[in-house]
Amino acid sequence: MVFFDLEFYVPEKKRTASGFCYNPWDKDCRFIGGSFMVANPERDFSIAKSEVLKKTKSFWLWEHATEKEMLEHIYALLKTACDQVKNAHDGAVSAILCGIGITSSDIPILFELFKRFHILSNQEAFAFQNSFRVVDLSCSSSGRSTTLATSYIQNPKITF
């Protein structure tokens, strides 16, 4: 699993009162980076916070010469994670991208940037994006709440 969150800059004059304003094809907007944690669900879900911080790799624009260079490093991380999962399971299992709101912003933007900066062709970007499964935590959180509420209703002696 690859947990991640991306950050963007939109010039003030292009910000609207509501909604997401970043456009990966607008040269006035900047992708400023993000943080990624590659985790093995069988080993890493019970690690200490200090280990989470050690496993988290951040990429920031000010640490790279260009946006393209930063994106090449992000692509390499994602490609490595994807290949490791496929190789470990004889191609039967896909790596999972996981984050909050990633289906409507982070994933489409990241793959558009891979195309914009010629890291991947349109065809390669499509194939690579579809080699992952996605868990968007903004959609999943309500399921967890519902499950807890249902459990409590069925057995009110449960403590959380």
The pLDDT tens digits of the residues spanning 108-118 come to 999 999 999 99
What domain range is 64 assigned to? 2-154
Position 159 confidence tier, pLDDT thresholds 50, 70, 90: very low
Range in 9-13, 28-32, 91-95, 122-126 with the lowest mean pLDDT: 91-95
Q: What confidence category does residue 149 fall into, taking pLDDT thresholds of 50, 70 and 90?
A: very low
Name the strands in the sheet holding 96-99, side by side, starting at the edge strand that comes first in the sequence: 56-60, 30-38, 2-9, 96-99, 133-136
Total structural domains within the chain: 1
Residue 57 has pLDDT above 90, yes or no: yes
CA distance 44 to 1: 10
pLDDT at 44: 67
* Coil vs helix vs strand at 15: coil
Is residue 160 in a domain? no
* Tokens 């950050």 -> residue: 7
pTM for this predicted structure:
0.82
- 159, part of any domain: no
Calpha distance 142→120 (Å, rounded): 35
pLDDT for residue 130 is more than 90: yes
Strand 2-9 versus strand 96-99 pairing type: parallel
Q: Is residue 40 in a domain? A: yes
Dihedral sign (CA 98, 100, 106, 107): positive
User: Is 35 within a domain?
Assistant: yes
We report the CATH number of the domain holding residue 142 as 3.30.420
Q: Note the pLDDT of residue 63.
A: 98
* pLDDT > 50? residue 120: yes
107 pLDDT above the threshold of 60:
yes
* pLDDT (0 to 100) of residue 140: 62
Bridge partners of residue 3, in order along the sequence: 37, 98
